[in-house]
């Protein structure tokens, strides 16, 4: 069974690479720190909204020490439109304080160190490791990746942790980083949650749904 799934997964990845040759992380950033902050802000918020907020945010705070020292309310006002701004502001301050004090102002490059930072769980850490440092220590499972993995028959699991384990077993290590981006792009552009565009889907021939909306 796994051999068949691995073969299917390989075909899916090849088809998506051909469909989205310019696939990338859609959170705008120039440094690992900016990516980390943007990813924290993206929780329960669209990348489009985060990208509207971050230009002013990154112009004002340029280092981990800057974020850590942000006066009460100032940081929160800038990120308010991303939702849950009080919790996000607290996480960003505490996260950046640790980076400034324990990591000489540099974002750490290991899963173990990243997941010790406030507001940085495994998913956020995998984004930073993969995009900023080119290190594949996991597969990012957001709502798009979870939905498409299930629809395409790659997993029957429902929690991000278990879905990630199934995907890590099916997908070659060299494809771990791109897989998430490819599924996210396809989820946003074609395979929406409520009204997937099955008629025009590039994966129709590979999809167990056979074009039937799930």
3-state secondary structure of 79: helix
Q: 123, 43, 145, 32: which is closest to 89 by C-alpha?
A: 43
User: Measured in whole angstroms, how far is the alpha carbon of residue 44 from the centre of its chain?
Assistant: 12
**Residues with catalytic function:** 123, 142
Instruction: Specify whether the CB–CB gap between 185 and 20 falls below 8 A.
Output: yes
Token pair recorded at residue 200: 């025009």
Closest residue by Cα to residue 57 from 26, 89, 86, 32: 89
């Amino acid at each position: 069974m796994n051999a068949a799934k691995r073969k299917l997964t390989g075909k899916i990845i090849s088809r998506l690479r051909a469909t989205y040759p310019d696939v990338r992380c859609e959170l705008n950033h120039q440094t690992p720190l900016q990516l980390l902050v943007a990813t924290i802000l993206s929780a329960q918020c669209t990348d489009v909204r985060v990208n509207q907020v971050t230009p002013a945010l990154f112009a004002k705070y340029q280092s981990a020490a800057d974020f850590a020292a942000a006066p009460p309310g100032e940081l929160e006002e800038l990120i308010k439109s991303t939702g849950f701004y009080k919790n996000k502001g607290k996480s960003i301050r505490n996260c950046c304080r640790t980076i400034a004090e324990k990591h000489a102002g540099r974002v750490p490059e290991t899963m173990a160190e990243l997941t010790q930072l406030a507001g940085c769980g495994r998913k956020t850490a995998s984004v930073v490791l993969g995009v900023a440092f080119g290190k594949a220590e996991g597969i990012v499972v957001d709502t798009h990746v979870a939905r498409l993995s299930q629809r395409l028959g790659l997993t029957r699991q429902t929690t991000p942790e278990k879905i990630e384990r199934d995907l890590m077993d099916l997908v070659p290590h060299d494809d771990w980083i791109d897989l998430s981006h490819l599924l996210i792009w396809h989820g946003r552009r074609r395979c929406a949650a409520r009204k997937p565009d099955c008629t025009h889907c590039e994966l129709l021939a590979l999809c167990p749904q056979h074009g039937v909306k799930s």
